[in-house]
Amino acid sequence: MSNRIRTAVLGAAGYGMNLIRNLTRLETLDLVCEPDEDVRSQLRKSYPDLEQVGSFETALKRKGIHAVVVGGPVDERAELAKRALKAGKHVLVERPLVCSDADAKSLVTRARENGLVFMVDHLLCFHPAFVKLKTLVDEGALGKIRYIQATRNHNARFRVQDHPVYAFAPNDLAMILALAKVIPSAVTSLGGPVRQGVAEVTHTHLDFHSGLQAHIIVSWVHHFRRQQLVVAGANQTAVFDDTLPWKQKLRLFNLDANPTIQDLNEADATAIPVAGVEPLFAVCEHFLDCITHEGQPRTGGRFALDVVHTVNAALRSQRDHDRRVDMPGEEPVEEEAPPSTLTVDYFVHPSSVIDDDVTIGMGSKIWHFSHILSGCRLGDKANIGQNVVIGPDVTIGRNCKIQNNVSVYKGVTLEDDVFCGPSMVFTNVAMPRSEISRKDEFANTLVKKGATIGANATIVCGNNIGRYAFVGAGSVVTHDVADHSLVYGNPARFVDWVCSCGARLSKKLGCPVCGKTYMKEGSGLTEIIEDETEKPKPKARAKSTRKK
């Protein structure tokens, strides 16, 4: 591999050995950093030719290393990842990423600003059984997903310094968020001691605006191991049980028209075959592939941040005596809305595609078979219909409504409250030819606040639509449209003036519906706002001098 990616592992103890094994299989590992000499001595027995150093700083300064895989102690991972990104390295962090919301945001921002891949190895999202399960959910095979329950009982040695929500819940939470595609609207978590005086069993409940509910049960007081994810849909229930043999790890249970608990039994289960691939190998392979092809990691920084955000909300719920924590009121991901496919309080239909670096405002809805390309910004309460394509790098204002079968190309900007009727068309090049690329000739089109564009209308690029203008259905706009003007025809021509409420104005430019009045300003109209301070004051009533 002459152009191979050269990687280093920071932290070889414990799980780090698994990372080293898989990166060695991929022929990409050049260096291991481990401060503990005993661990390094053990590693030399298995990998005698592998270079080792004892200082993290030495590893980060090593020239020729393209990527760093951060293992090591849980409480050091966020700081090591920060230092690695600062050194210009692509970063894969061992789960869980235990840090504050602010630290997680800082990592995501630094990676984005420097064009680096930042990824957390949420292992189960790469498990072949879960990958198949997610495909079934995305294709609608289970019907609408109504409930998800994750159960994780651990029989390992109890660790007083860890919290089960941090230690184990992120594994299941990552799968739930990957299936839901949005973070929950509220989190409630209960936890308590059993033997050691600290939380050993936790129950975390997640509410979503779509009506989906999810439940995560984590315990390390059981004497048996259980790792099970149950996804209940309207048509079928899927069970992913990682403790079973590969042929039985994923099973489907069909539901009758009137399902009862008795309908779900082992005899009715249909096993779904999956490939027996080690999930960690798939994680490492995906990480390297994202670096090579500049792809967005499946469990990249923004996804990992949503996991951190939700886990921290669960911990706050426990600290505040099982209080419900509402997620929309939490601190935003960045100074502006986060470029993430997992944003608080919006709806995206499973058939739609949201590219990387997309911001979607609160309360927005994106319906069937739509595609939002990278760099787009959608304001709050935007409503995007079916089969709509937006972008790249398009800004859609607040409360805009884009009906079915509309493409909003690069160069088009919609201000607040714009309505685009079904199948209307924006063009972006004046003289297009299929065989000639004219991306450098895109002409800008601005549709100002409150404008309406009727069904099947065409807006020729380079022309602006004024505030509260109204373009009739089927019209072809070949010149700027003034504020509050009504135009239609081919080419579109001025017909009348319209109010911001949509009614035609009288000859004196008054609205017969809402009572607003207007005056001409430039080529369009502007509303006349009466100044209360300039209204004549009523005369004071004279006092009577007549004696009573």
Is 327 a domain residue? no
Sign of torsion over alpha carbons 428, 433, 434, 438: negative
Q: Which residues contact 263 (CB under 8 A, 6 or more apart)?
A: 253, 255, 256
Tokens of 375: 């760099």
Supply the pLDDT for residue 343.
34
Is 319 a domain residue? no
Tokens of 179: 């299936």
Q: Which range, of 64-68, 284-288, 535-539, averages the lowest pLDDT?
A: 535-539
Final residue belonging to a domain, choices 242, 260, 295: 295
Kindly state whether residues 147 and 266 are assigned to the same domain.
yes
* pLDDT above 50: residue 216: yes
Q: What is the CATH number of the domain that holds 19?
A: 3.40.50.720
pLDDT per residue as tens digits for the range 339-371: 333 333 578 887 889 988 888 887 789 999 999
Q: Which range, of 86-90, 116-120, 160-164, 386-390, averages the lowest pLDDT?
A: 160-164
Kindly state whether residues 82 and 38 are assigned to the same domain.
yes
* pLDDT above 50: residue 276: yes
- CB burial readout 287-326, b (16+ within 10 A) else e: bbebbeeeebbbbbbbbbbbbbbbbbbbbebbeeeeeebe
* pLDDT above 60: residue 546: no
Is 29 a domain residue? yes
Kindly state whether residues 157 and 215 are assigned to the same domain.
yes
Kindly state whether residues 78 and 136 are assigned to the same domain.
no
Domain count, the chain: 2
Kindly state whether residues 51 and 153 are assigned to the same domain.
no
Supply the pLDDT for residue 61.
86
Task: Kindly compute the dihedral angle of the four CA atoms of residues 358, 361, 363, 369, in this order, to the nearest 10 degrees.
Answer: -20
Task: Report DSSP state, residue 528.
Answer: P
pLDDT per residue as tens digits for the range 228-272: 999 999 989 999 999 899 889 999 988 654 445 445 566 578 899
DSSP state string for 281-325: HHHHHHHHHHHHHTPPPTTBHHHHHHHHHHHHHHHHHHHTTS--E
* pLDDT above 50: residue 447: yes
**Which of 156-160, 182-186, 273-277, 496-500 reaches the highest mean pLDDT?**
496-500
Supply the pLDDT for residue 344.
39
Show the domain range for 24: 7-119+280-295
Kindly state whether residues 65 and 196 are assigned to the same domain.
no
Evaluate whether 318 touches 199 at the Cβ level (below 8 Å): yes
Supply the pLDDT for residue 237.
93
Evaluate whether 85 touches 108 at the Cβ level (below 8 Å): no
Mean pLDDT of 409-425: 95
Kindly state whether residues 207 and 156 are assigned to the same domain.
yes
- Of 96 and 499, which is predicted with more confidence? 499
**What 3 state SS string does 379-435 have?**
CCCCEECCCCEECCCCEECCCCEECCCCEECCCEEECCCCEECCCCEECCCCCCECC
Supply the pLDDT for residue 538.
45
Task: Report DSSP state, residue 113.
Answer: H
Kindly state whether residues 53 and 159 are assigned to the same domain.
no
Q: pTM higher than 0.85, yes or no?
A: no
Supply the pLDDT for residue 195.
57
Is 155 a domain residue? yes
Sign of torsion over alpha carbons 294, 298, 301, 302: positive
For the chain, what is the mean pLDDT? 84
Kindly state whether residues 185 and 103 are assigned to the same domain.
no
111 by DSSP, 3-state: which? helix
Tokens of 117: 């891949």
Phi, psi of 425 (to 5 degrees): -130, 130
Is 403 a domain residue? no
Is 306 a domain residue? no
**What 3 state SS string does 126-191 have?**
HCHHHHHHHHHHHCCCCCCEEEEEEEEECCCCCCCCCCHHHHCHHHHHHHHHHHHCCCCCEEEEEE
Length of the chain: 548
Q: Which residues contact 436 (CB under 8 A, 6 or more apart)?
A: none
